[in-house]
Amino acid sequence: MPNNWKPRSGDPVPEAVSSMAEELSISRVVAGILWRRGLRTLADMDRFLSPGLRHLSDPGAIPGLDQAARVLARGLDQGRTLAVWGDYDVDGITATAVVKEYLASRGIEARHYLPNRLKEGYGLNPAGVEALAAQGVDLLLTVDCGVSDTQAVARARELGMGVVVSDHHLPGPELPLADAVCNPRLSDGPCSNLAGCGVAFMLMAALDRLLPGSSMDLRRLLDLVALGTVADVVELTGQNRILVKNGLLLLKDAERPGIAALKEVCGLERFAPLSAGRIGFGLAPRLNAAGRMGDPDRALDLLLARDLETARPIAARLDRVNAERRREEQAILEQAMAQAESQAGRMGLVLFGPDWHPGIIGIVASRVVERFYRPTIMLCAEDGRLKGSGRSVEEFDLYSGLAELEGLLLGFGGHRQAAGLSLEPENLEALREGFHRVVARALGGEPLNPTLKLDSRLGFKEIDQGLLKELEALQPFGVGNPEPVFLSPPVVVRDYSVFGQDHVRLVLADEQAGAVLTGKAWRMAASLPPEVLGRSMSFAYTPKLDTFRGAPRIELSVKDWERPGQVRVNMSAL
């Protein structure tokens, strides 16, 4: 699908950036990238390049957090029995692990409850709360859930429990009547983009100040926080960048046995550095597979394992479950793609398979969005109702869109880009029609193309290992901090070949600079034909350091290219 191209910022980079680059001992190319991403002062650039823990906000910046810490401290001082209720995804599991490991370090044993996705669904439920009460639990802390679970929280209070809700999901019109509710989304502040595990970490930092005895070095928990934050696909800027950047160092060292075992089953060396991409495509899916297939406790057991002998069998099991999940995902994907093709005239897609796995449809929805670039809802049948997951494109707020269709739904929740929902079967067609209208009203009647944002022009002569090292300092890449993409000058395609199933290898010559580099266009053989051989054309690309087969060498990851006669971007803005 052709991309729209546009500069990451419409304003040209000012000459003053050169002096900023000199002050920070970085190239003007990298300083320009930072400037285009909104870092317009020397201090902002320096903090981005060196995101030390000293830059973390005070936990009290999160609305309700100080009260939440006081309620927990008071309850623990009274000898109450605490249970942590988490979510079944990586964010919820790591948040649960953060709390349990912190409390264990202070000599406090906490129980936990991770709901079975297939039997219980997301969030608190009254039956689970009642089961905890029967076990003697009288203090309940939620992590990564709870802000919408008013009935379950009310039931917990009826049973005499103290209740603290910590969450990061968008709150509804009514907050649960808990003893404390802490959620960064309750106001716009420096912590508003934290994942659930980030909120849990901040809450434990505040609790640590209130409990008697020796404090814990909470930095030991940052590997869990980085793992959950990356997996939850929140913005990797601001506070999240600080937490993840520092947590990635711990994930590289893999002192936690569960992380070491997880890296092994991913085919990685124990001390291999991890990027956000490797977490998102390697570690996280194996942890998520446990919850998606109904057994999130296995993932928690792995993260809290005390030795490799315990961790390795669990990691191997999760690897097998993930392989099973991938096979089922492929079968669902084929059916979903066929349905999407049949709805070519709709701006928003609502796809349904009665036997689709509820733990997998969210992943498939993301794949459908990648293919068709339209907001997509996928539904399956469960206990006489329809249950679904939705994913969106950058331009459409899925949560707000579902709010307009609330009358058709039994419930919904989530974020701008991802959401869950349920409805009665008789409302399926009405949802299809309504979702199409809501998306069309927001985006117009013609399907959109994805936009590729370019950071700057970059000739091949400017690319060396020094620049690539500087670009690595911009990691971790993800939402809010995408990998830089550059525009080449016109270059000549000197060689063309297809490898694998549909990947293209190119040899590109920047004749003005006298430089030749290899480029790879992944999964693009169908759209990048052999006829480009010998042509002069511009490419959008990211330079990489390829260490495969020994000596490192520079190659280009091709993102897109200018077709003959196309003018894709305002060159003056680059």
User: For strand 451-454 and strand 456-457, is the pairing parallel, antiparallel, or unpaired?
Assistant: unpaired
Contact yes or no for 256/223 (Cβ under 8 A): yes
Q: Mean pLDDT, to the nearest integer, of 68-92?
A: 97
Query: Is a pLDDT exceeding 70 seen at residue 262?
Result: yes
Cβ neighbours of residue 424 closer than 8 Å, sequence gap 6 or more: 385, 386, 410
pLDDT at residue 306 above 60? yes
Find out whether 213 and 99 touch, Cβ atoms under 8 Å: no
pLDDT score at 103: 97
Specify the higher pLDDT residue, 233 or 547: 233
pLDDT tens per residue, range 366-414? 999 999 999 999 999 988 999 999 999 989 999 999 999 999 999 888 7
Tell me how far apart the alpha carbons of residues 231 and 31 are, in angstroms, rounded to a whole number: 29
Q: Output the pLDDT for position 546.
A: 81
Q: Residue 553's beta-bridge partner residues? A: 546
Q: Which of these ranges, 50-64, 407-421, 469-483, 543-557, has the smallest mean pLDDT?
A: 543-557
Q: What percent of the chain has pLDDT over 70?
A: 97
Instruction: Using the predicted structure, report yes or no on whether residue 29 has a pLDDT greater than 90.
Output: yes
* CA gap 554, 508 in Å, rounded: 12
Residue identified by tokens 């913005």 is 235
pLDDT category of residue 569 using cuts at 50, 70 and 90: low
> Confidence band (pLDDT; 50, 70, 90) for 487?
very high
Rounded to an integer, the average pLDDT of 39-65 is: 96
Half-sphere exposure of 544 (CA within 13 A, CB side): 15
Q: In three state form, how does the secondary structure of 456-468 look?
A: EECCHHHCCHHHH
CA distance 246 to 344: 45
Do residues 352 and 428 touch, judged by C-beta distance below 8 A?
yes
Partner residues linked to 60 by β-bridges: none
Range from 342-351, 408-417, 503-512, 544-553 carrying the lowest mean pLDDT = 544-553
Residues 423-432 have a mean pLDDT of 96
Mean pLDDT of 235-249: 97
pLDDT of 562: 85
Provide φ and ψ at 493, rounded to 5°.
Answer: -80, 105
Question: Which residue type is seen at 70?
Answer: R
In 3-state terms, what secondary structure has residue 263? helix
What gap in Å lies between CA 302 and CA 311, rounded to an integer? 5
CA-to-CA distance for 86 and 100, rounded, in angstroms?
11
Helix (H) / strand (E) containing 36: helix 28-36
Architecture of domain 59-217: Alpha-Beta Complex (3.90)
Q: What percent of the chain has pLDDT over 90?
A: 82
Give me the pLDDT at residue 417, please.
87
Residue whose structure tokens are 């869990």: 224
Q: How far apart are CA 169 and CA 184, in angstroms?
A: 9
Q: Residue 550 above 80 pLDDT? A: no
Among 2.30.30.100, 2.70.150.10, 2.40.50.460, 3.40.50.300, what is the CATH number of 4-50+452-573?
A: 2.40.50.460
User: For the chain, which residues make up each domain, given as ranges?
Assistant: 4-50+452-573, 59-217, 343-443
* Helix runs in 386-459, H state only: 398-404, 428-443
Topology (CATH level 3) of domain 343-443:
Diaminopimelate Epimerase; Chain A, domain 1 (3.10.310)
Question: With bands split at pLDDT 50, 70 and 90, how would you rate the model's confidence at 292?
Answer: confident
Q: Is 294 left (phi over 0), alpha (psi -120 to 50) or beta?
A: left
The pLDDT of 42-69, averaged and rounded, is 96
Residue for token pair 């392989």: 323
Q: Using CA atoms in the order 368, 373, 375, 378, what is the torsion angle rounded to 10 degrees? A: -10
Cα 240 to Cα 199, 233, 236, 252, 409: the distances in Å are 11, 11, 5, 18, 33
Phi, psi dihedrals of residue 183, rounded to the nearest 5°: -160, 120
The angle, 0 to 180 degrees and rounded to 10, between the axes of the packed helices 296-304 and 308-342 is 140
- Cα 200 to chain centroid distance, Å, stands at 17
- pLDDT of residue 142 exceeding 60, the answer is yes
pLDDT digits (tens, 9 = 90+) for 170-220: 898 899 999 999 999 999 999 999 999 999 999 999 999 999 999 999 999
pLDDT-wise least confident of 9-13, 70-74, 402-406, 524-528: 9-13
